[in-house]
Structure 1
Amino acid sequence: MSSRRTSIAVVGTFDTKLDEFLYLRSQILEDDSSINVILIDAGRSVVQHEAVTIKQDEVAKASGFQGFENDFMSLPRGDLVKTMIKGAVKVVGRLKDRDEIHGIISLGGSGGTSIASAVMRELPVTFPKLIVSTVASGDVSSYVAETDITMMYSVVDIAGLNEVLKAVVQTAAAAIVGMAKAYVKKLNNNGHGDIKTTKKGIGITMFGVTTKGVNAARKWLESHGFEVYVFHATGSGGRSMERLVKENRLHGILDLTTTELADELAGGVFSADSSRLTAAAKAGIPQIVSVGALDMVNFGPKDAVPKKFQERRLIEHNPSITLVRTTKEECEELGNRIAQRLKENCIRPDLTEVWLPLRGVSALDIEGQAFYDTLADNALFKAIKTSLDGSEISVKELDTDINDPSWSESIAKRLSELIELKG
């Protein structure tokens, strides 16, 4: 198989930061002059420079924008950004599909980072992505989402070349060169740049209070030849698992820890979104869903817990996280939501099961522990059973808690049977 020439896409707003992007290009080429650097202009106005590979008007055209240049220039900033995102996503997507790029990098403030990150979020997990940004030292969850974007803080604004910014850009250039070369190496060796495994992949959701049970299930699956991916159910973890399902990387799901739905319902800090619990159902892959850690909603430090929750049972999990016990009414609603999302989205209900651990849904919900509440748990179980009654989705009740090793092995074994059933 012939070797590929490493190519790196550089996406940015060249009308405001051309000098900085040209410096980035020079540092990539200084690291390896054989690299093909593709500069893609996603700014407001056309920049004429020989180094620019794909000009701004080409990106605008790819977005489907209809109108003259003056119409484009008069777009409000928000509409302009959306237009350039749409165009850049298509341009970069085509390059990736044709195997013409092996990494992507950008520089920017909040606007440039918004454009670049939106483009990068559409690229597969494991494809090299790096942004040098003025916002990288803050909350970057809206930019990174459930992807593997690497963000580097620029320290100073990206507004003129100085010794600090040049040093940061030099480091970023070296980083993307190394990442892209490693990706090309995998392409040349494997024929693709993704993770290579001959094993079937299983996604499992976990929280601290379901760790014991998840680890037992993981070990059973690994001992029977599966590749296991554990996702921390912190909102982004659940979304990451759903993304890998959409990318056809997983063959089965043990959704043991659905606590993100509790945070979605009550406004906690670890909420996923309304698409949670839908990807595997829509893909028709085998899945077993359970109710791990639905006894709690997660908030920040204790003094940050909203007043309406202050009279409930609270546990300081650590200085940054406070747990609030869900009520009977909330548990009933959670049961209904789980059932409804499965019923509305399952294309293979025969490959979906819900397992209920009747003696506790977390390590804090067993007899003698702080969140033990049979009324709340029973409301949860009853809502699921009632809502799924008459559907083809089966519900299994076990007289154990979610961390019992025998439960874990039984649920792992059953998932392997469902995978075999699918063939």
Structure 2
Amino acid sequence: MTSHILLLGTCDTKLPELLYLRTRILAQSPSARITLIDVGRTPSSDPAVTISQSQLLEHQSSSSTRLNAKDLQNLPRGDLLDRISKLATACVLGLLRRDSIHGVVAAGGSGGTSVVAAVMQACPVGLPKVLVSTVASGDVGPVVGEADICLMYSIVDVAGLNSVLRSVLDNAAGAIAGMAAAYKRREEERAKEEVEKKIQVGITMFGVTTPCVDVARKRLEENGCEVYVFHATGHGGRAMERLVREGALDAVLDITTTEVCDHLFGGNMSAGPNRLRAAAERGIPYIVSLGACDMVNFGPRDTVPEKFNDRNLLVHNSMVTLMRTSEEECEQVGSWIGKRLKESVKDPSMVQVWMPFNGVSVIDVEGAPFYDHNADAALWRSLKQEMNGSDITTSSWPTDINDERFASGIADRL
């Protein structure tokens, strides 16, 4: 079986560049099968297009107003991109269900990037995804989301072939050809192997909760679990929640819930308003703790909002400044976590909350810069009060979160 690669782009504006990319993929992998999907505004009649705009329109949902090609062309730009994104996503997910796909690649400007990024974000984790984009520099969070997308900055616009763009597209072709071949081999090997599936456990971690996570991870691995550690930087929390919803995780140790602080108080590592939902809603084993809830994360020191200048700030490195959460803020965090768990829980017997009384990070212990017993007490108190009458078990420990006894205990309980 040859590699099957999906190539997406706006064929009305980027066709020469897309065809060049197609040629270079075939130069790297002559037997590859390439499906070119047109996601442009104006339909292309080029014979190289495998899936045309009219074929995309066949994927309109029954709940939306049905459009023809002319209707689509007349939509405002934002509405057009949204509709094309949904059509292309439905098309690609259908192909993934029916056929063997080994990679997705695309090249485009800002509009094409927004369409293709939505498609790639909907694809399974592990499937190779390469996106050459004019906006792959700067804040690419909305482009990547929680997907494993490989971004390549085009340097010049994807508008006319020249030596710079050719070199970038050559590299993209080599990347997707190699990745697709590796993915195909991996899938074939998995199909032949009869390996007993391990219990898959997600754990959230921050640098300041690493000692706890390391002990818990090793403990779980010794007991036959496969452990996935997620860096709780906003995208990490969202990625974990996504994998839980997709059924890829069997249990979660949510040791580090600091993203809630950023969500509530304007930090730059928020996982958004839906954090702490997925595992509770699915009813899988789920233990929540309060790791790094002593801090809100900002960028370089000069980016911290002026209203926080008199707060306890710690320059973690040149890119990250931490702000100690106050007693009032900790009370809000504890209440938010408690309410979220109560409203989301499917089976209270599957959820527990573990509260370490002597600090929630390595810098929140006696003598450390963020130690504040009153703030931590407000965190525990508000969370415990919110849990009253919920049938969710709370467990209090007279240690800090990185104490080996706490880490071993939480892993063993899971």
Class of the TM-score when normalised by the shorter of the 2 chains: over 0.9
> How far apart are residue 116 of structure 1 and its match?
0.5
**Separation (CA, whole Å) in 1 of partners of 2:376 and 2:188:** 53
Q: Which residue of 1 aligns with 2:358?
A: 359
Asked if 1:93 corresponds to 2:93, the answer is yes
Residues 54-63 or 208-217, more deviating: 54-63
Residues 320-329 or 75-84, more deviating: 320-329
Q: Which residue of 2 aligns with 1:187?
A: 187
Q: Which residue of 1 aligns with 2:84?
A: 84
Q: Which residue of 2 aligns with 1:421?
A: none
Q: Which residue of 1 aligns with 2:228?
A: 229
> How far apart are residue 5 of structure 1 and its match?
2.7
Q: Could you tell me whether the CA contact under 8 Å between 1:124 and 1:247 is conserved in 2?
A: no
Residues 389-398 or 362-371, more deviating: 362-371
SS at match of 1:66: coil
Query: Once the two structures are superposed, what CA deviation does each residue of 1:15-47 show, in whole Å capped at 9, x if it has no partner?
Result: 001111111111111222211110100100111
Query: Once the two structures are superposed, what CA deviation does each residue of 1:60-85 show, in whole Å capped at 9, x if it has no partner?
Result: 33234524433222110000001100
Q: Which residue of 2 aligns with 1:105?
A: 105
Q: Which residue of 2 aligns with 1:420?
A: none
Asked if 1:13 corresponds to 2:10, the answer is yes
Q: Which residue of 2 aligns with 1:409?
A: 408
Q: Which residue of 2 aligns with 1:322?
A: 321
What amino acid sits opposite 1:379 in the alignment? Answer: A
> How far apart are residue 137 of structure 1 and its match?
2.1
Q: Could you tell me whether the CA contact under 8 Å between 2:57 and 2:67 is conserved in 1?
A: no
Q: How does 1:167-178 map to 2 (within 5 A)?
A: 167-178=167-178
> How far apart are residue 197 of structure 1 and its match?
7.0
Q: Which residue of 2 aligns with 1:33?
A: 30
What amino acid sits opposite 2:42 in the alignment? Answer: S
**Separation (CA, whole Å) in 1 of partners of 2:225 and 2:73:** 54
Query: Once the two structures are superposed, what CA deviation does each residue of 1:281-309 show, in whole Å capped at 9, x if it has no partner?
Result: 11111011000111111111112111111
Q: Which residue of 1 aligns with 2:378?
A: 379
> How far apart are residue 413 of structure 1 and its match?
0.2
Q: Which residue of 1 aligns with 2:121?
A: 121
Q: Could you tell me whether the CA contact under 8 Å between 1:203 and 1:253 is conserved in 2?
A: yes
Q: Could you tell me whether the CA contact under 8 Å between 1:103 and 1:176 is conserved in 2?
A: yes
**Separation (CA, whole Å) in 2 of partners of 1:54 and 1:259:** 44
**Separation (CA, whole Å) in 1 of partners of 2:364 and 2:154:** 45
Q: Which residue of 2 aligns with 1:245?
A: 244
SS at match of 1:353: strand
Asked if 1:46 corresponds to 2:43, the answer is yes
What amino acid sits opposite 2:212 in the alignment? Answer: G
**Separation (CA, whole Å) in 1 of partners of 2:198 and 2:250:** 10
Backbone CA RMSD of aligned residues: 1.5
> How far apart are residue 99 of structure 1 and its match?
2.4
Q: Could you tell me whether the CA contact under 8 Å between 2:12 and 2:40 is conserved in 1?
A: yes
Query: Once the two structures are superposed, what CA deviation does each residue of 1:354-397 show, in whole Å capped at 9, x if it has no partner?
Result: 00000111111111122111211111111111111111110000
Change (3 A) 1:197 1:276: farther
SS at match of 2:291: coil
**Separation (CA, whole Å) in 2 of partners of 1:120 and 1:62:** 17
Q: How does 1:209-220 map to 2 (within 5 A)?
A: 209-220=208-219
Q: Which residue of 2 aligns with 1:145?
A: 145
What amino acid sits opposite 2:58 in the alignment? Answer: K
Structure 1 unaligned regions, length at least 5: 416-423
**Separation (CA, whole Å) in 2 of partners of 1:38 and 1:118:** 18
Q: Which residue of 2 aligns with 1:369?
A: 368
Q: Could you tell me whether the CA contact under 8 Å between 2:89 and 2:122 is conserved in 1?
A: yes
Identity fraction in percent: 51
TM-score by length of 2: 0.96
Structure 2 unaligned regions, length at least 5: none
What amino acid sits opposite 2:6 in the alignment? Answer: A
> How far apart are residue 224 of structure 1 and its match?
1.7
TM-score by length of 1: 0.94
Q: Which residue of 2 aligns with 1:288?
A: 287
SS at match of 2:290: coil
What amino acid sits opposite 1:352 in the alignment? Answer: V
SS at match of 2:353: strand
**Separation (CA, whole Å) in 1 of partners of 2:196 and 2:85:** 33
**Separation (CA, whole Å) in 1 of partners of 2:368 and 2:27:** 61
Q: Could you tell me whether the CA contact under 8 Å between 1:60 and 1:83 is conserved in 2?
A: no
What amino acid sits opposite 1:133 in the alignment? Answer: S
> How far apart are residue 235 of structure 1 and its match?
0.5
> How far apart are residue 134 of structure 1 and its match?
0.9
